[in-house]
Structure 1
Amino acid sequence: MSRTFVNWSGSLTFTASGQAEPADEDEVRELVSRARESGTTLRPVGSGHSSSPLVRTDGTLVSLHRLAGVIDKAGDRATVGGGSRLSELGERLYDAGLAMENLGDVDYQTIAGATATGTHGSGLRFGVLSTQVSEVRLVTGTGEVLDVSATSNSDLLPAARLSLGVLGVVTQLTLDLLPRQDLRRLAWCAPVRWTLDHLAELQQANRNMDFYWYPRSDLTKIRIINRADEVPEVPIEASRMSRSEGWYAPAELEIGPTHHTFPRHRELRFDEIEYMIPSEAFPDCFAEVRRRILDRHRRTVGWRVLVRTVAADDIWLSTAYGRRTTTIACLQNASLPYEDYFRDMETVFRQYGGRPHWGKKHWLTAAELRPLFPRWDDFQAARRRLDPDGVFLTPDLARLLEEA
């Protein structure tokens, strides 16, 4: 039976010929076998939070919501079902005395979808969520069940930890975790110039730090997170409460476990473009982004710009591969036009060596992406090895991954 799919923001709509909800790996293997024999495509789908067309297909959508939960726990590691929602997974891990070391700004995604697209939080010491993955179990395009880890098919681990869902259907992941802990979240508003002048200091002094810039007011909202038993050093300027200058006193938003402290509940839906910039290029890049928004887009920009940091890693398609990264995300209310604004921002991001977030809006194709990822060809070789018949390769993904 056909299914009309609409993503979280409402900007991606398509009709798939069918949808499957396998209960185990044998059913996943059967779905792959049927797609391979019929020459149709199969796309694993998570929660639908992404606004990029990675899941778009006229073939079959595969939801893994029945393959969820904590499967096994050993020390500070846990094996979880690929269809586990981050919100529910946080609760299950907490009950087991564990927590993910870092999370993104929302917990709507599934763990397989979040890691496959390079979802990230913020913090100089923390990589994309995929860096927390030590083992991946997937059903490849040939129907083989493959375990990938440091001791099994280790050559594929840098590809399988962040794969865009083109190596196979990820049924299980093993995560490296931390003992559960309480965190303290503080936020305050400050003038943009002060925030930029003190950015390095704030990033280094806190476990996690990010900020929003609001184009309409030209102010920022700074957010820091630290362990609850640590008292953060809040700059003296932030306690003056001089609202005429844009200051608002620090407010304790929450003390609680990791999975409650990082994500924010979003009633207002939005579309987003986010690029990962080499950290040393961030000051110049952000200055140009701010200038263009104030000069060209301020009247139509309905929301904010988010700045975060990500540690370097060695995952082949990670947008933080081989370099410390600062991210710039431009958000726009789902009810408002976004394309002219986002395309203009993309020209700036590309001038500074930016790499696009795989799960968000961008307009790059394989020829433009290949120079940005030093291990691009290695990933493509792994993809062709595990999916020789293109079971997971839709036209959208072919434009992303295969040069004409």
Structure 2
Amino acid sequence: MSRPFVNWSGSLAFTPSGYAEPADEDEVRELVLRARESGNTLRPVGSGHSSSPLVRTDGTLVSLHRMAGVIDKDSDRATVRGGSRLKELGEGLYKAGLAMENLGDVDYQSIAGATATGTHGTGLGFGNLSTQVSEVRLVTGTGEVLDVSATRNSDLLPAARLSLGVLGVVTQLTLDLQTRYDLSRRTWCAPVEWTLDHLADLQHTNRNVDFYWYPRSDLTQIRTMNRADGASAPSSTSTSRTPKTDGWYAPRELEVGPTHRTIPQNRKLRFEEIEYMLPSEAFPFCFAEVRRRILRRHRRIVGWRVLVRSIAADDIWLSNAYGRPTTAIACLQNASLPYEEYFRDMEAVFRQYGGRPHWGKKHWLTADDLRPLFPRWDDFQAARRRLDPDGVFLAPDLARLLEEA
């Protein structure tokens, strides 16, 4: 059975030769073995939120939406099925008295898709969602069911936590969790100069901080989040607060609620996005050039905003925050408006400052461009060839990303 596939934003559309919705791991194994025997490709797909062509294939597209829910849990971790959507997962964990440490801006995604592409939230003390994964269970390109953790096949854990879906079909993940808690969210607007001057102070004295810059008005909207019980953020050494704002401080919204309801935003407007992760020390210079170019070249067609977030360093091989504290700049554009000329110009700036592209968003890099950006690139490739020797998961778009010319 086949059906057309269109992603969330509408910019990625294709018709695979087959489409499958396995209900269990045995059915996933059958699909992998069949693809391997026939020489076809197979691509797992989550919710379709990604706008990069990671899932595009002329072979079989495999959705895990029937493989969702919590399998097992205890006081500080839970094993969940790969097709679990973040929104429903958050509700289920909350009812069990648990919560994920941090979340991204969207809860539409599946947990396997979000971790496989490096989805992240914001906060100096928090890595991307993949850093919350302690165990991965997957069906490899040979049809083997493989468990990867600190005690089983541990050499593969830095690859399996963020794998782009090329090591295998992720059927289960074990997440490190926290006792559930509420966050208070506060937003306000300020001039961009004020925001940049106070950003470091805001980041060090609040659990989570991000801001949008609006090119049309040249103003920013700042969002801070802190635990409602007053517990300090992992990166903080002082009480959370808002710096003196010279008359601009006027909280437009004050919301208190569970993390899975407070952090993600309601996304009724569909958009395209390019996001690059920069060494944090390069952020001020990069943002200044991004702002200059947008105001001079693109302001008339930029329909939306630019988002700035922070991410802690990690040791995951294909993570965009591997080995360095990271600041991410994302340019968002309404899906109904042209974006390529604008995004390509922004990509040139991001690359100038050592940026790494978000795997799930628009970019135009190939393996030759990417290899120098990731110190453990060759280690990941060795793991990929070991688990998928026949290239079952290596569709043409992924081959351009991962195989050098």
TM-score, normalised to structure 2, is 0.97
Separation in 2, partners of 1:388, 1:8: 32
Between 91-100 and 225-234, the greater mean CA deviation after superposition: 225-234
Separation in 1, partners of 2:78, 2:241: 34
Contact 1:117 1:357 in 2 (8 A): yes
Separation in 2, partners of 1:256, 1:57: 40
RMSD of equivalent CA atoms: 0.9
* Residue of structure 2 aligned with 1:236, choices 233, 240, 244: 244
- What SS does the corresponding residue of 1:237 show, helix, strand or coil? coil
Q: Which residue of 2 aligns with 1:311?
A: 312
Question: What amino acid sits opposite 2:347 in the alignment?
Answer: E
Contact 1:136 1:148 in 2 (8 A): yes
- What SS does the corresponding residue of 2:72 show, helix, strand or coil? strand
Q: Structure 1: 5+ residue runs without aligned partners?
A: 241-246
The alignment-based identity, stated in percent, is 84
Q: Which residue of 1 aligns with 2:73?
A: 73
Q: Which residue of 1 aligns with 2:235?
A: none
Question: What amino acid sits opposite 1:354 in the alignment?
Answer: G
Alignment pair present for 1:403 and 2:371 = no
Q: Which residue of 2 aligns with 1:380?
A: 381
Separation in 1, partners of 2:119, 2:245: 33
Q: Which residue of 1 aligns with 2:330?
A: 329
Q: Which residue of 2 aligns with 1:57?
A: 57
Separation in 2, partners of 1:218, 1:252: 21
Q: Which residue of 2 aligns with 1:243?
A: none
- What SS does the corresponding residue of 2:212 show, helix, strand or coil? strand
Q: Which residue of 2 aligns with 1:171?
A: 171
- What SS does the corresponding residue of 1:105 show, helix, strand or coil? coil
Separation in 1, partners of 2:210, 2:186: 11
Separation in 1, partners of 2:124, 2:44: 31
Separation in 2, partners of 1:91, 1:195: 34
User: 1:206-355 alignment to 2 at 5 Å?
Assistant: 206-230=206-230, 232-237=240-245, 240=247, 247=248, 249-355=250-356
User: 1:29-108 alignment to 2 at 5 Å?
Assistant: 29-108=29-108
Separation in 2, partners of 1:2, 1:44: 14
- What SS does the corresponding residue of 1:301 show, helix, strand or coil? coil
Q: Which residue of 2 aligns with 1:391?
A: 392
Q: Which residue of 2 aligns with 1:109?
A: 109
Q: Deviations over 1:15-34 (max 9, x none)?
A: 11111111111000000010
- What SS does the corresponding residue of 1:331 show, helix, strand or coil? strand
- What SS does the corresponding residue of 1:285 show, helix, strand or coil? helix
Deviation at 1:253, TM superposition (A): 3.3
Separation in 2, partners of 1:324, 1:248: 29
- What SS does the corresponding residue of 1:198 show, helix, strand or coil? helix
Q: Deviations over 1:309-353 (max 9, x none)?
A: 000000000000000000000000000000000000000000000
Contact 1:9 1:269 in 2 (8 A): yes
Question: What amino acid sits opposite 1:304 in the alignment?
Answer: R
Q: Which residue of 2 aligns with 1:184?
A: 184
Alignment pair present for 1:368 and 2:364 = no
Question: What amino acid sits opposite 1:348 in the alignment?
Answer: V
Deviation at 1:254, TM superposition (A): 1.3
Deviation at 1:66, TM superposition (A): 1.1
Deviation at 1:248, TM superposition (A): 5.5
Separation in 2, partners of 1:358, 1:116: 9
Contact 2:282 2:353 in 1 (8 A): yes
Q: Which residue of 2 aligns with 1:23?
A: 23
Deviation at 1:250, TM superposition (A): 1.3
- What SS does the corresponding residue of 2:92 show, helix, strand or coil? helix
Contact 2:132 2:177 in 1 (8 A): yes
Separation in 1, partners of 2:168, 2:78: 21
Question: What amino acid sits opposite 2:134 in the alignment?
Answer: S
Deviation at 1:75, TM superposition (A): 2.2
Separation in 2, partners of 1:236, 1:156: 48
Separation in 2, partners of 1:252, 1:355: 33
- What SS does the corresponding residue of 1:16 show, helix, strand or coil? coil
Q: Which residue of 2 aligns with 1:244?
A: none
Q: Which residue of 2 aligns with 1:124?
A: 124
Separation in 1, partners of 2:340, 2:242: 38
Q: Which residue of 1 aligns with 2:234?
A: none
Contact 1:184 1:252 in 2 (8 A): no
Separation in 2, partners of 1:32, 1:374: 30
- What SS does the corresponding residue of 2:83 show, helix, strand or coil? coil
Question: What amino acid sits opposite 1:352 in the alignment?
Answer: Y
Separation in 1, partners of 2:252, 2:284: 27
Alignment pair present for 1:155 and 2:160 = no
Runs of 4+ in structure 1 off by over 2 angstroms are: 229-232
Q: Deviations over 1:42-77 (max 9, x none)?
A: 000000000000000011111111111110012201
Separation in 2, partners of 1:12, 1:253: 37
Question: What amino acid sits opposite 1:208 in the alignment?
Answer: N
Contact 2:16 2:57 in 1 (8 A): yes
TM-score, normalised to structure 1, is 0.97
Deviation at 1:232, TM superposition (A): 4.1
Separation in 2, partners of 1:306, 1:59: 36
Separation in 2, partners of 1:317, 1:255: 35
